[in-house]
Structure 1
Amino acid sequence: MQFDQRSPVYLQVVRWFKEQIATEELKCGQEIPSRREIAAQLGINPNTAQKAYKEMEEQNLITTERNVPSKITMDQEIVKKVRTEMLDEAVAQFIEAVQAIQIPLGEVVTKVETVYQSTERRKVDA
Structure 2
Amino acid sequence: MGYEFDKTKPIYLQLVERICWRIVRQELAAGEKLPSVREMAVQSGVNPNTVQRTYAELERMGVTETRRGQGTFVTTDTEHLANLRETLKTSHMMQFVKKMRAMGFTNSEILSGVQTALDSVVEEDGKEERYDV
TM-score (norm 2): 0.84
- Alpha-carbon offset, residue 115 of structure 1: 2.0
2:130 counterpart residue number: none
For 1:125, what is the secondary structure of its paired residue? coil
- Alpha-carbon offset, residue 76 of structure 1: 1.2
- Alpha-carbon offset, residue 124 of structure 1: 6.6
For 1:77, what is the secondary structure of its paired residue? helix
Which structure has greater helix proportion? 1
The percent identity for this pair of structures is 31
From 34, 40, 43, the counterpart of 2:42: 40
1:72 counterpart residue number: 74
Measured in 2, the distance between the counterparts of 1:102 and 1:59 equals: 35
Q: Which runs of 5+ in 2 are unaligned?
A: 128-133
- Greater shift, 39-48 or 84-93, is seen at 84-93
Measured in 1, the distance between the counterparts of 2:75 and 2:82 equals: 11
Measured in 2, the distance between the counterparts of 1:103 and 1:57 equals: 39
From 15, 18, 34, the counterpart of 1:16: 18
For 2:121, what is the secondary structure of its paired residue? helix
Runs of 4+ that moved beyond 4 A: none
For 2:9, what is the secondary structure of its paired residue? coil
Measured in 1, the distance between the counterparts of 2:66 and 2:99 equals: 39
1:116 counterpart residue number: 118
